């Protein structure tokens, strides 16, 4: 008998859905309730199970097409020959069904026994055929997210081809630099997860390889000798750690430096002070960055998948140190703010960050970041990009130095407050010309001393 | 000193009777007869009939009288001839003993120990094979222990007697004379609330207590070539040593809980839930429980073997979880 597979109504107000992917092919023998396809609606994404055992005779809707509910998606021939597979042999004890989740019953291979434990040299078993659906465990989901792994490339050795923690560990070991050949892989060419290298990256710290520091940090109990203090990570520390690792793995950072003569900024500060207004150096850099971002739109951007989103608005995220950890509140429309407005907003953030009264909304939506490590910030530092942004500026210490300037056509040595300003940019998105041009422009604005 | 499990229990009571004048034993046939299983053999003779007291066949009375004496400053050790009959004293335990400290704003303690033989595997039938520990873990104010070795049986009973809160002490009768161990001649205690890591391993954690500890350890040895098992003996069931459990599961990523008590509402459910909640992102397989079937323990040996966890079931569960 030929029966229809129809688009079900997945929720009261849902009237249509998009076919995402077919999990079976025409001609394939299928069991009752076997997932046939994945669909996506406004409300939910779902797999559509087969209403019956049989053979797929027709697939009527292509992936990507939108169909109304009750539309016929496929046709299935439910011939008696295509009866579901015979039940497995009687089990010795029925914890098989009582004590174990049903899906633990092995369906693709004969019952165990597990192979003897092998430490080295044995070739890894070949990956079982992929059926479009990858089975994983929670720990594998976490590891894959942390390491940015593509699970379909990892051969699963668990029941029904499940990817287990050991499989991921073996995969990581075999794909780590220098470990090639230590484990025989069916397709070594696939066993690679290295961020694309860019030419200028040679001058910058190289992006991290596949081995993740956060993965190492999360392993087991910390080894602590007597007298050592073990401080478990707070949720905010965990988020920072995760973010830092992810950023380093995601973006090939290029760090460039400008040496900025801050004497005009110092003069503006001094003048403001006389008028009773106390300004730090930070608002000047934020102001200059905002101006330069307006002229270099590619720096004011975020990355979404394989696209760069050039942001219309300039929202600068500024790192603020608090007792609980680093917070990064966002100055919205920083390019429309005056120096004193920026300064007041920063004071407000600082006070509220310390009392814990910054709302989550104020911590999101940044399009570029500035970080100022303060008086003890040392000569310079190489900041990590605040994902998904593509650039960040870091202030160095401001130190009086003798510098050579051109005074009426003559070289002369004067004492100036100098600062090394570091800019990190994501070399996936930004080429050297744009990145260098941006930082050069920030320097020009700071040295010109016109902050109106 | 090579002792059986039951001799270790007897020694613990003997030493505590000698150490502290406030300790006394009460129960059915604990005096003249020396206990149905001889756990108190010779103690009345040695310490006197006023300190090792034969009681009428009324568990409610034994526990109730013990609570009254405890409030007056004594440390009664109350024997249930079979732990199955603790249910007759249930009200006294959960409504009186467990609530005393709370009701009096912390000003009253109730240092009683209720102990008795639990467990099956000895063809005792449904009134002499029970494992009712989970009932008591549900009640705040009680501590619950279940030793699996002679060393722990002695050390935990001494700690229980010295504890100012009511402790329910489950001794497994299958182990009474089946295990023999070297234990120190000098005095020692085993702390309440601390699990024992019986064996380190990398692949899978088995969390268990009581008699199944021995079957799990045998499985760990027998299966050493195929799977590297870590074995945790909880020893104390209330409060459970979560730090040890979680550290192990975070390491291995897989957890199997084995107990002889029934599955439904057993300790394993609580352990599994905590692991699922607190170790979710470390799990490399489902948390599995292996326990007695949800029926009364039958008398017939073949049926008893069918109902209770045994070596074969443990091996099979480990093998399945390891392969997940």
- Report d(CA A429, CA B35) in Å as an integer: 82
Q: Taking CA A239 as the corner, what is the angle to CA A234 and CA A241, rounded to the nearest 5 degrees?
A: 95
Distance CA B180, CA B197 (A): 20
User: Which one has a higher pLDDT value, A111 or A263?
Assistant: A263
The confidence band for B37, taking pLDDT boundaries of 50, 70 and 90, is very high
* pLDDT for the residue B52: 98
In a domain, B189, yes or no: no
Which pLDDT does position A33 carry in this prediction? Answer: 86
CB B176 within 8 A of CB B5: yes
- Same-domain status, B94 and B223: no
- The model's confidence at residue A182, banded by pLDDT at 50, 70 and 90, is very low
Does the CB of A238 have a partner CB in chain B at under 8 Å?
no
* Residue B188 included in any domain: no
Per this entry, what is the length of chain A?
A: 452
Tens of pLDDT, residues A121-180: 444 454 555 456 788 889 998 888 888 888 888 888 888 788 888 888 888 887 755 444
To the query of whether residue B128 is one of the catalytic residues in this protein, the response is: yes
Query: Same structural domain for residues B205 and B129?
Result: no
pLDDT reported for residue A80: 58
Q: Is A37 strand, coil or helix?
A: strand
A99 vs B251, B284, B289: nearest CB: B289
CATH of the domain at B25: 3.40.50.970
- Do the domain assignments include residue B29? yes
The pLDDT of residue B220:
96
Q: Select the more confidently predicted residue: A145 or B287.
A: B287
| More confident of the two residues A5 and A85 | A5
DSSP code of B298?
A: P
> pLDDT tens digit string along B83-121?
999 999 999 999 999 999 999 999 999 999 999 999 999
A188 neighbors A182 (Cβ within 8 angstroms):
no
| Cα dihedral A442, A446, A448, A449 in deg (nearest 10) | 150
In a domain, B312, yes or no: yes
Rg (CA), chain A: 30
Q: Which residues pair with A261 in a beta bridge?
A: A418
Lowest-confidence pick of A209-218, A353-362, A371-380, B226-235: A209-218
* Residues B213, B162 share a domain: no
B32 and B140 belong to one structural domain: yes
Range of the domain at B313: 196-323
- Whether B207 and B131 share a structural domain: no
Tens digit of pLDDT for each residue in A235-282? Answer: 778 888 888 999 999 999 999 999 999 999 999 999 988 988 888 899
Question: How far is B129 from B120, CA to CA, in rounded Å?
Answer: 4
**B187 lies in some domain:** no
Domain boundary pick from B182, B212, B231: B182
Interfacial A residues in 132-171 facing B (CB < 8 Å): 137-142, 158-159, 162, 164-166
Q: Is the pLDDT of residue A97 over 80?
A: no
Q: How many domains does chain B have?
A: 2
> pLDDT tens digit string along B161-201?
999 999 999 999 999 999 999 999 999 999 999 999 999 99
Residue A255 forms beta bridges with which residues? Answer: A424
Q: Which of B283, B312, B324 sits opposite A104 (nearest CB)?
A: B324
Which of the four pLDDT bands, split at 50, 70 and 90, describes residue A374? confident
Q: At what angle do helices A138-147 and A235-250 cross, to 10 degrees?
A: 50
Give yes or no for residue B74 having a pLDDT over 60. yes
What number of residues does chain B have? 324
Give the pLDDT band (50/70/90) at residue A437.
very high
- B316, A93: Cβ pair inside 8 Å? yes
The residue out of B133, B152, B182 marking a domain boundary is B182
Chosen for mutation from A109, A117, A140, A233 (greatest number of chain B CBs closer than 10 Å) is A117
Q: Does domain A2-82 have CATH number 3.40.1390.10?
A: no
Last residue of a domain, one of B150, B182, B214: B182
pLDDT digit string (tens) for A272-329? 889 888 888 999 999 999 999 999 999 999 998 888 999 999 999 998 877 767 778 8
Q: Where are the domains of chain A?
A: 2-82, 240-448
Q: What is the CATH number of the domain that holds B237?
A: 3.40.50.920
Q: What fold does the segment set A240-448 form as a domain?
A: Chloramphenicol Acetyltransferase (3.30.559)
Q: Which whole number is the average pLDDT over B212-231?
A: 96
B18: region left, alpha or beta (phi > 0 left; psi from -120 to 50 alpha):
alpha
Q: Do A113 and B319 touch (CB under 8 A)?
A: yes
């Amino acid at each position: 008998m030929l029966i229809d597979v129809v688009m079900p109504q997945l929720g009261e107000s849902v009237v249509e859905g998009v076919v995402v992917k077919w999990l079976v092919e025409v001609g394939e023998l299928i069991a009752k309730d076997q997932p046939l396809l994945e669909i996506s609606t406004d409300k939910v994404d779902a797999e559509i199970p087969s209403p019956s055992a049989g053979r797929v005779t027709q697939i009527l809707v292509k992936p990507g097409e939108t169909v109304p509910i009750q539309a016929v998606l496929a046709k299935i021939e439910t011939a008696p020959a295509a009866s579901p597979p015979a039940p497995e042999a009687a089990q010795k004890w029925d914890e098989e069904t009582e004590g174990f989740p049903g899906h633990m019953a092995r369906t693709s291979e004969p019952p165990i026994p597990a192979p003897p434990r092998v430490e080295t040299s044995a070739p890894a078993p070949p990956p079982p055929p992929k059926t479009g659906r990858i089975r994983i465990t929670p720990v594998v989901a976490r590891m894959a997210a942390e390491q940015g792994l593509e699970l379909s490339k990892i051969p699963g050795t668990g029941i029904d081809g499940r990817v287990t923690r050991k499989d991921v560990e073996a995969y990581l070991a075999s794909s780590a630099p220098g470990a090639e050949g230590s484990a025989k892989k069916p397709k070594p060419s696939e066993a690679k997860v290295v961020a694309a290298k860019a030419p200028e990256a040679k001058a910058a710290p190289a992006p991290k390889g596949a081995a993740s520091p956060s993965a190492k940090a999360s392993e087991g109990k910390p080894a602590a000798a007597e007298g050592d203090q073990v401080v478990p990570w707070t949720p905010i520390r965990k988020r920072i750690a995760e973010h830092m690792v992810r950023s380093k793995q995601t973006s090939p950072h290029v760090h460039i430096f400008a040496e900025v003569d801050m004497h005009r900024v110092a003069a503006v500060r001094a003048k403001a002070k006389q008028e009773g207004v106390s300004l730090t150096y930070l608002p000047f850099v934020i102001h200059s960055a905002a101006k330069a971002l307006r002229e270099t739109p590619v720096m004011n951007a975020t990355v979404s998948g394989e696209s760069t989103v050039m942001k219309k608005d300039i929202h600068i995220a500024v790192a603020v140190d608090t007792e609980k950890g680093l917070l990064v509140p966002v100055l919205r429309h920083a390019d429309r703010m005056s120096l004193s407005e920026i300064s007041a907003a920063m004071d407000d953030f600082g006070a509220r960050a310390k009392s814990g009264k910054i709302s989550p909304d104020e911590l999101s939506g940044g399009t570029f970041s500035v970080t100022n490590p303060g008086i003890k910030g040392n000569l310079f530092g190489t900041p990590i990009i605040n994902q998904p942004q593509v650039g960040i500026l870091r202030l160095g210490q401001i130190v009086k130095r003798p510098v050579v300037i051109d005074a009426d056509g003559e070289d002369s040595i004067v004492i100036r407050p100098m600062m090394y300003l570091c800019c990190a940019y994501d070399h996936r998105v930004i080429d050297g010309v744009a990145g260098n041009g941006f930082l050069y422009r920030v320097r020009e604005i700071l040295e010109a001393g016109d902050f109106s | 000193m090579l002792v059986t499990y039951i001799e270790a229990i007897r020694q613990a009571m003997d030493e505590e009777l000698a150490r502290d004048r406030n300790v006394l034993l009460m129960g059915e046939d604990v005096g003249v007869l020396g206990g149905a299983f001889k756990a108190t053999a010779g103690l009345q003779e040695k310490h006197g009939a006023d300190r090792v007291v034969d009681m009428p066949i009324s568990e409610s009375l034994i526990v109730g009288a013990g609570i009254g004496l405890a409030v007056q400053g004594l440390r009664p050790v109350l024997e249930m001839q079979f732990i199955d009959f603790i249910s007759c004293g249930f009200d006294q335990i959960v409504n009186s003993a467990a609530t005393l400290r709370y009701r009096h704003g912390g000003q009253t303690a109730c240092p009683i120990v209720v102990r008795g033989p639990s467990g099956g595997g000895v063809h005792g039938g449904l009134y002499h094979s029970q494992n009712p520990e989970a009932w008591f873990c549900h009640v705040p104010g009680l501590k619950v222990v279940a030793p699996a070795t002679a060393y722990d049986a002695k050390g935990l009973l001494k700690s229980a007697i010295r504890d100012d809160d009511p402790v329910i002490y489950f001794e497994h009768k299958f182990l009474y004379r089946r295990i023999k161990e070297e234990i120190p001649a000098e005095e020692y205690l085993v702390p309440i609330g601390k699990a024992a890591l019986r064996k380190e391993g990398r692949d899978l954690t088995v969390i268990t207590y009581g008699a199944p500890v021995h079957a799990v350890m045998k499985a760990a040895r027998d299966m050493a070539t195929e799977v590297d098992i870590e074995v945790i003996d909880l020893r104390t069931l209330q409060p459970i040593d979560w730090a040890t459990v979680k550290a192990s599961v975070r390491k291995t990523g897989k957890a199997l809980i084995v107990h002889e008590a029934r599955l439904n509402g057993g300790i394993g459910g609580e352990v599994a839930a905590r692991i699922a909640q607190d170790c979710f992102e470390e799990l490399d397989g489902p948390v599995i429980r292996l326990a007695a079937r949800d029926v009364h323990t039958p008398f017939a040996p073949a049926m008893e073997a069918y109902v209770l966890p045994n070596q074969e079931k443990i091996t099979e569960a480990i093998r399945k979880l390891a392969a997940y």
